[in-house]
Amino acid sequence: MMQAGGDALDLVAVTVGPGSFTGLRAALSLAHGIGLARGVPVVGVTVAEVLADALPALGGRTLWVAIDTSRGRIFLDVGDGMRAVEPRTCRRRKEGGGGGRCGDRGRRHVGGTREDVMLTDARLPLPRHVAVVGRRRAAGELAAVPAQPLYVDAPEAQPSPQRPPPAACPPPNWCPPPNW
């Protein structure tokens, strides 16, 4: 960061998702840490916003962003918010005569349609576009997005209803001494 002009850092922009649980949490923790250490604001940007910024004019097409969930579904945003769908939904959905598709699953799941489609090589958010969208958000040109994880799916891990909460200091005295 110092080689890239780290002294001039006045904003931290971070993608909030969708993405993997661990990846989002790690990136957001790092971004918040840098923001806190430098005393600068941290703004969130979505993957769809960043990919949209990376694309040329779509010629009136609607942008479809399709991202692999690695669970047999994709996260799909067709300009109306991100949701998880079955892959066949991308092939069958008709939205105003086609669109521009990007994301890591765009080519595989919508490339075989008969719609007016412009497939792109945009697969992952590039830092330059994260910064551009973050700057626009900080300037008030875009609606606020908290720098917190954007989860599309409910968490898979759930606490067991039968298991009682742990004791304050479970045996055999795992707690540190009081003056530790």
Q: Are residues 107 and 129 in the same domain?
A: no
Q: Are residues 43 and 93 in the same domain?
A: no
Question: Domain for residue 116, yes or no?
Answer: yes
Helices and strands, number each (H, E), in the chain:
5, 7
Let me know: does 122 contact 54? Beta carbons within 8 Å.
yes
Q: Are residues 82 and 137 in the same domain?
A: no
Question: Helix, strand or coil for residue 129?
Answer: helix
Looking at residue 126, its amino acid is L
Q: How many domains is the chain partitioned into structurally?
A: 2
Question: Domain for residue 2, yes or no?
Answer: no
The enclosing domain of 132 has a CATH number of 3.30.420.40
Q: Are residues 14 and 45 in the same domain?
A: yes
The enclosing domain of 67 has a CATH number of 3.30.420
152 contact partners, CB below 8 Å, separation of at least 6: 17, 18, 69, 75, 82, 83, 84
Mean pLDDT of 8-27: 89
The three-point CA angle 156-157-159 to 5° equals 140
pLDDT on residue 5: 57
| Mean of the per-residue pLDDT values of the chain | 75
Question: Domain for residue 169, yes or no?
Answer: no
Structural domain that includes position 66: 58-121
- The whole model's pTM is what? 0.68
Mean pLDDT of 89-115: 48
Q: Are residues 132 and 49 in the same domain?
A: yes
Question: Domain for residue 179, yes or no?
Answer: no
The DSSP letter of residue 113 is S
Question: Domain for residue 177, yes or no?
Answer: no
Q: Are residues 67 and 91 in the same domain?
A: yes
Torsion from C-alpha of 83, 87, 92, 96, nearest 10 degrees? 40
pLDDT on residue 81: 76
pLDDT on residue 178: 57
Q: Are residues 134 and 96 in the same domain?
A: no
More confident residue, 124 or 7: 124
Question: Domain for residue 64, yes or no?
Answer: yes
> Exposure string (b/e) for 167-180, b if CB count within 10 Å is 16 or more?
eeeeeeeeeeeeee
Q: Are residues 63 and 85 in the same domain?
A: yes
150 contact partners, CB below 8 Å, separation of at least 6: 16, 17, 18, 24, 44, 46, 82
State pLDDT tens for residues 69-79. Answer: 777 777 878 77
Q: Are residues 64 and 111 in the same domain?
A: yes
Q: Are residues 62 and 115 in the same domain?
A: yes
pLDDT on residue 87: 67
Question: Domain for residue 77, yes or no?
Answer: yes
Question: Domain for residue 178, yes or no?
Answer: no
